[in-house]
A and B are shown apart, each in its own frame.
Chain A
Amino acid sequence: MPERRAYLDHAATTPLRPEAREAMLPYLSGEFGNPSGSHHESRRARRAVDDARQTVAGRLGVDLGEVVFTSGGTEADNLAVVGGWRAVAAGRSSPPALVCSAIEHHAVLETCRALARDTGADLREVPADRCGVVDADAWAEACTPEVGLVSVMAVNNELGTVQHLAALAEAARTGSPGAVLHTDAVQAAPWIPLGPLTGEFDLVSISAHKFGGPQGVGALAVRHGTGLAALAHGGGQERDRRSGTQNVAGIVAMAAALDRTSADQATGNGRVGALRDRLVEGLTASVPGTAWTGSGQCVPGFCHLRFAGVESEALVLLLDAAGLSVSAGAACSSGAVEPSHVLLAMGFDRIEATSGIRFSLGWTTTDEDVDLALSVVPDVVAKLRD
């Protein structure tokens, strides 16, 4: 095991922020009430959840009644896509069409595909260009009046590319009046203000562990007046939109993490962006045949680099052995690395789609982390090209 390690996989999950840990500790020890009861312990838990809801709502720029807590980003995406679509479908005679980008996270893409499969609804997957940005013309073309739900991610999870959300939302409103608009903002939350997103989209998903909160908790912002059919039925928690006893400790920790993330965003973005730029410049200079996928369109914490002639599956393991934790894109349930559907949808071939490494930086990333990456990556790439 190398003495020093650098963790550059913040897009997978981030270290817990101290504020989040402090916030949740009481609910892992003394406090244990069920927020739905009517006695002392319950009231205390309910108060904690409501305070957290207020905080999260504030950072999302919505009313507290518009926040639905979930078990994470995937559940929020499922609730948005299926719940939003079903509410629209209830008022139509034929199954409404679905529109999403072809570079969505699997939580959206596979949900749309399953829904289309199960209901016979028409699913339109809109491709992205070589820069990782959704094709605006194809998007506008897909957004027709039959569409009942559109979903487009704010920031791509493999590349970090920011989508032209205002324009995409506008095109969807114009072409598909009556459609519910969803954006998966899971990777956006650490880097861009969420207020504009909830202004443009009816439904916005976030996940706590991408911004220093714990795993297993997330939220869906649901604009007042937006129809949403529940997926989990039961005790009617979260205003009947998501039954099940709330994860109190997780929720209060998410609120604390989001609060700190948003407060630090402007300075944090500058700091992390400078580190990312140093990383990219260093590697581009020292490793021949390096290409930055989606350069110029990315949030500060991301760079997806392709090293020509190198298999990312082997590269990740060798970098791990050298003390650097990075990711080779999406992993399937068995743990195997799959060729990136994002790069394939952007027109890269299978070899290119398996030659990329995602470096993702975050709130704990330091100069030393970048130094370590700059010192180990060139050797390892050279060894694999040998």
Chain B
Amino acid sequence: MRVLVAMSGGVDSSVAAALMADRLGSERVVGATLKLWGGDSDSGCCSVADVDDARRVADQLGLVHHVFNFAADFEERVVDPYVRGHAEGRTPNPCIECNRHLKFDRLLDRAADLGFDAVATGHHARRTETPDGRYRLCRGADPMKDQSYVLAMLGQDQLGRVVFPVGELTKDEVREEAHRRGLRTAAKPDSQDVCFIRTDEGRAGFLGDRMPLHGGRMVDHRSGEDLGSVDAVELVTVGQRRGMGHSGDGRRRFVTAVDVPARRVMLGPPEAACAESVALDTVTWVDGDPTVAARGGTALVAQCSAHGRPVPAEVSVISGVSGGLMVRFATPQRRVAPGQTVALYDTRRPHEVVGSGIAR
């Protein structure tokens, strides 16, 4: 077995590479760093300093190391849709799209081309195998660092070709392991936010350079009463409360909807910011669609953000909408912004991912 380890230059993928080298021998493991973003960056995984870190860790582990330039695909599959989504009033999750199109598609193909049997990454998640040879995607051992949410779009085809070596470890254990081996990335801080956006320009600066931003009005979601102005409707997200002020009775106001063409942001009290359901498209299943056999709804557990609280939900097909899925929460939840991913987990085995979809 030969494995290609995706090394971002961070501590998790460094330890993932070390563990793979232990397991298979360093001659069967090769490190690869993806150059994803051609523009300026200060965090993320594409700076020369991060590539240097990855290369030096690979050197220390005795691994051959390559750099793959996927910048054009990243622009096309992640950055452009991110910008386009905001222009349409949606809030896409670029990490998930990067996993879907780059790490677990483009990189898997490249690895196969180069004769590797699998790709390993530093994600905090676990892949298990059933007695009949099916793959399960499970939460990582560290509940605080679990990344199954951003991997929830994986299916059998991808899971059959991936390894998550640090999924059994807590983040502290990963750092300890890195320290014990003297890896230069042991104390490197976790990456934050969107990797292609510089902290000094921020989301507003990044998007403002790439699309027109429009000022708009904030209005009450029921009465239509004018509540003031916003600088850019494209930068407002459903569920947001920051910058939205307070209502007359002193309660915080939340964004309940954004209408970009009309340049309007609808605001409401906390209860209006919640919804009983969310409709999904771009639905994926880890191992088949459980709603097919079910009569009525299927009981699953929904998680609506990377570290959101899982909530019981009933999931059913939206009749008349091809590939659409309706998720009804057991109790009302903060509205899911269009473009955000909902990960679905099993009810009896709550660590196990069943599928995913994107809020419409």
A residues with CB within 8 A of B: 313-314, 317-318, 321, 332-339, 350, 383-384
Contacts and interface: CB of A to CB of B under 8 A. Distances in A.
B84 interface: no
Contacts of A314: 110, 113-114
Contact of B66 (A317, A338, A350, A384): A317
Main SS at interface, chain B: mixed
B110 A334 contact: no
B191 interface: no
Given A333-B48, A336-B35, A318 B69 contact: no
B55 to A, nearest CB: 8
B72 A350 contact: yes
A321 B48 CA distance: 25
B114 A318 contact: yes
**B interface bracket (residues with beta carbon within 8 Å of A):** 10 to 19
B67 A336 contact: yes
A339 B72 CA distance: 9
A352 to B, nearest CB: 13
Contact of B67 (A334, A339, A384): A334
A340 to B, nearest CB: 12
Nearest to B51: A334
Contacts of A332: 35, 69
B113 A318 contact: yes
In the A-B complex, list the 10 residue pairs whose CB atoms are closest, starting with the nearest: A336-B69, A336-B35, A335-B67, A334-B51, A336-B67, A314-B113, A334-B48, A333-B48, A337-B69, A334-B67
Interface of B: 33, 35, 46-48, 51, 55, 66-69, 71-72, 110, 113-115
Given A333-B48, A334-B48, A336-B35, A384 B68 contact: no
A314 B70 CA distance: 12
A336 B113 CA distance: 18
B68 A383 contact: no
A365 to B, nearest CB: 25
B68 A313 contact: yes
Contacts of B33: 334
Contact of B113 (A333, A334, A335, A384): A384
Nearest to A338: B69
A336 B47 CA distance: 11
Contacts of A321: 114-115
A336 B46 CA distance: 10
Contacts of B35: 332, 334, 336
A184 B113 CA distance: 38
A339 B73 CA distance: 12
A162 B33 CA distance: 36
Contacts of B46: 334
Nearest to B68: A313
Contacts of A384: 113
Nearest to A380: B113
A318 B231 CA distance: 52
A336 B69 CA distance: 5
Contacts of B72: 339, 350
A333 B110 CA distance: 22
16 contacts: A314-B110, A314-B114, A318-B114, A321-B114, A321-B115, A332-B35, A334-B33, A334-B46, A334-B47, A335-B51, A335-B55, A336-B35, A336-B71, A337-B69, A339-B72, A383-B113
Contacts of A337: 67, 69
Contacts of B67: 334-337
A317 B68 CA distance: 10
A318 B71 CA distance: 21
Contacts of A350: 72
A313 B114 contact: no
